[in-house]
Chains A and B, each alone.
Chain A
Amino acid sequence: MAIAPIPPVPPLPQTPSPLTAAPAAGGGGDAFTGLVAKAVDALQSTQTVASAAEARAAAGQGNLADVMIAATKASLETQVTTDLLDKALASYDAIMNMTF
């Protein structure tokens, strides 16, 4: 009697191939750098508003309270952004320093 040929083994559907896994890992990196860039961008726009208000006040226009409020918000946002980035980088460092 003739022996039937062995059918090819189908690939496991759940196993991600290295080709598709690599971009996903890159996407994670992009998310973090994107977050950092967005935070710094927001900080930059607040600083620009504060600088514009200060320039108007120095030129004798505008309103003292608006300048102080813009400067306070810029200062607070700087602290929030730097603190959050410090925390995020600290968690990265913790992972980097893991020993097996």
Chain B
Amino acid sequence: MSLFGPIDVSGTGVDAMQTWIDTSAGNIANANDAVPVGTPAYAAETPVFTPAGGSVPGQPGEGVATSVVLGSSAGVLAYDPSSPLANAQGEVVMPDVSMSNQLVGLIEAQMGYQADTTAIARAVAAYNSGLTIGS
């Protein structure tokens, strides 16, 4: 680990939370993308977090690695006869995005972001007090 390792580790956490906010924003923005029945709907994006560099016992970690997985594009059937995309039964396919789950995820991501930036601020404060050793 480098001299400022904790800052880099918290930085991966900030990046992970940023990805979570980005995917939630994309899912919410596309929540109303209706498509005709039989075509693939918008697939919700979900961030997946794993320990970066694996978990090595007895050593501090290297932070978190983030990847984005796509959900099902099957969508859910919705009755909307006014839509120009509706079929003879008045049905369209809407993305399988739960707005409440997305909003709760946004709050979690925001709190995680704040926690990571707080960890960085504490590390900087600790380094600054380390610089006053002997003076």
Contacts and interface: CB of A to CB of B under 8 A. Distances in A.
User: Do A and B associate with each other?
Assistant: yes
Interface of A: 63, 65-66, 69, 72-73, 76-77, 79-80, 83, 87
A79 B11 contact: no
Contacts of A65: 11, 14-15, 18, 117
SS class of chain B's interface: helix, strand, loop or mixed? helix
15 contacts: A63-B18, A65-B11, A65-B117, A66-B11, A69-B11, A69-B120, A72-B120, A76-B4, A76-B7, A76-B127, A77-B3, A79-B131, A80-B3, A80-B127, A87-B134
B120 A66 contact: no
Nearest to B2: A73
Given A69-B120, A80-B3, 17 more contacts: A65-B15, A65-B117, A66-B11, A69-B8, A69-B11, A69-B14, A72-B7, A72-B124, A73-B7, A76-B4, A76-B7, A76-B128, A77-B3, A79-B131, A80-B131, A83-B131, A87-B134
A69 B134 CA distance: 27
B4, B18, B128 interface centre (most CB from chain A within 10 Å): B4
Interface of B: 3-4, 7-8, 11, 14-15, 18, 117, 120, 124, 127-128, 131, 134
A69 B131 contact: no
A73 B120 CA distance: 10
Contacts of B134: 87
Given A69-B7, A72-B7, A77-B4, A63 B15 contact: yes
Contacts of B11: 65-66, 69
Contacts of A80: 3, 127, 131
A76 B129 CA distance: 12
Nearest to A80: B131
B26 to A, nearest CB: 16
A66 to B, nearest CB: 7
A90 B14 CA distance: 40
B3 to A, nearest CB: 7
